[in-house]
Amino acid sequence: MSNKRYILVVLLILVVFFGFGFYKLKQRKLEYQKLPTPQRLPYTVEAVHPKEGILKEYTTFQGFYEPYTKGFLSTKTNGAVVKLNVSEGDTFKKGQILAVIDPTDIKSQIEATEAKLEAQKAQIQALQVALETQKAIFERDKKLFETGGISKEQFQLSKTKYMQTKAQYEAALSNLKALQAQLKDLKHNLEVYTYIRAPYDGVVRKLLVREGDFVGAGKPLMEIAKTDLYRILVNVPLQTSVGKEGFITLGGKEYKLTVNRVLPSTNQNLKVVEILTKKLPLPDDSYINVSLPTKECKGFIVPFGAVLYLDAGTFVVNTDKKLIPVKVGAISKNLACVKGNLSPQMGILVAGQFRLREIALHNWPIRVVYINTN
């Protein structure tokens, strides 16, 4: 009996507790209903007049920056590297001696040619004596033949010997001149091959040999490059059209670029855009981001913050809070080029996605401030 009373007391307490709670909740709800509706404070939003014009949209690609003219400076003969007058990174002037080679092959050829030249001179002296002797015999036989002292056959034989000796002498003289010219060329080559001179103003990119190394003909000694003109090579998808003007940004500074030409690529899906430029403040053979125009739109130019993207489409919002359908043709930095039923006299709100939604879809109050977009 006592247990039943206990349970009844507990139930009674619970009923009273929950009943009081429901009463207070209903009372609080009535109080809230009597409160005035909170006033929505207006947004202060910017507005612009759309301007007709052309806007280019840029796409960023990776480019490779390198000297336009570069190559290897090589030796034309075998020899030892006697001296290197430059180090990596050094600049040089056209005609400056960059390296000295001991051209052993040229020296050997000069010695051999000088020996041939001396032998040829000795041969000429001997042939000169023989020619003078044979000439005297021929002149004597000619007089004898004219007086009937010798036969015609004997005279013809004497004449033939004289002409043969004369031809040998003249051939020896011609060979002497050829050897002298060859020796002159070899001595000139000795100067050229010994002193490796710069073909243009430039910089040493890399040394490929050290002093004391023996190098063969055609062996590269160093890699060099001009410093007056550089290029940027950019791989672009084959179907992507690019305009002539681009830019890069280095250290917060923008550098304008001009496309020089479009080259074929080893990759069938790509083409190579070549851009010529002066030296830029970055190392040679660097990869950099290059922005090239890939779209061009002729329409109304508005700030990008004026474009509203909804599931139903793309819109701008005028100062009457009306949605105006548009198509976005290009986006560049903080601007957008749109096409739609707009006019330069119309006011377009610039407020970003969230506020434009609130204004256009929920009729949020606004305070309009026009800005100049020039």
Convert the pLDDT of each residue in 47-69 to its tens digit. Answer: 999 999 999 999 999 999 999 99
What is the C-alpha to C-alpha distance for residues 118 and 28, in angstroms, rounded to an integer? 130
What is the C-alpha to C-alpha distance for residues 167 and 189, in angstroms, rounded to an integer? 33
What is the C-alpha to C-alpha distance for residues 289 and 233, in angstroms, rounded to an integer? 11
* Predicted local distance difference test score (pLDDT) of residue 374: 63
Write the single-letter amino acid at 147.
T
Q: Dig out the tokens for 359 from the structure.
A: 């204004």
* Predicted local distance difference test score (pLDDT) of residue 36: 60
Q: Which of the residues in the chain have pLDDT under 50?
A: none
What is the C-alpha to C-alpha distance for residues 227 and 279, in angstroms, rounded to an integer? 7
Task: Tell me whether strands 79-84 and 348-350 are parallel, antiparallel or unpaired.
Answer: unpaired
318 vs 104, 332, 338, 364, CA distance in Å? Answer: 87, 22, 14, 13
Q: Dig out the tokens for 372 from the structure.
A: 């100049």
What is the C-alpha to C-alpha distance for residues 287 and 49, in angstroms, rounded to an integer? 41
What is the C-alpha to C-alpha distance for residues 289 and 249, in angstroms, rounded to an integer? 8
Q: How many CA atoms lie within 13 A of 10 on its CB side?
A: 6
Q: Dig out the tokens for 140 from the structure.
A: 């004597």
With CA atoms as reference, report the closest residue to 47 among 362, 329, 359, 299: 359
State whether residue 85 is helix, strand or coil: coil
With CA atoms as reference, report the closest residue to 53 among 325, 353, 332: 332
Write the single-letter amino acid at 331.
I
* Predicted local distance difference test score (pLDDT) of residue 26: 73
What is the C-alpha to C-alpha distance for residues 55 and 308, in angstroms, rounded to an integer? 19
- DSSP string for residues in 93-126: -TT-EEEEEE-HHHHHHHHHHHHHHHHHHHHHHH
- Phi, psi at 142, each rounded to 5°: -65, -45
What is the C-alpha to C-alpha distance for residues 314 and 125, in angstroms, rounded to an integer? 104
* Predicted local distance difference test score (pLDDT) of residue 343: 95
* Predicted local distance difference test score (pLDDT) of residue 270: 93
* Predicted local distance difference test score (pLDDT) of residue 31: 66
Residue partners of 103: CB distance under 8 A and separation at least 6: 75, 77, 78, 79, 189, 190, 193, 194
In whole angstroms, how large is the CA radius of gyration of the chain?
48
Write the single-letter amino acid at 302.
V
What is the C-alpha to C-alpha distance for residues 323 and 361, in angstroms, rounded to an integer? 9
State whether residue 65 is helix, strand or coil: strand
* Predicted local distance difference test score (pLDDT) of residue 323: 97
What is the C-alpha to C-alpha distance for residues 122 and 330, in angstroms, rounded to an integer? 89
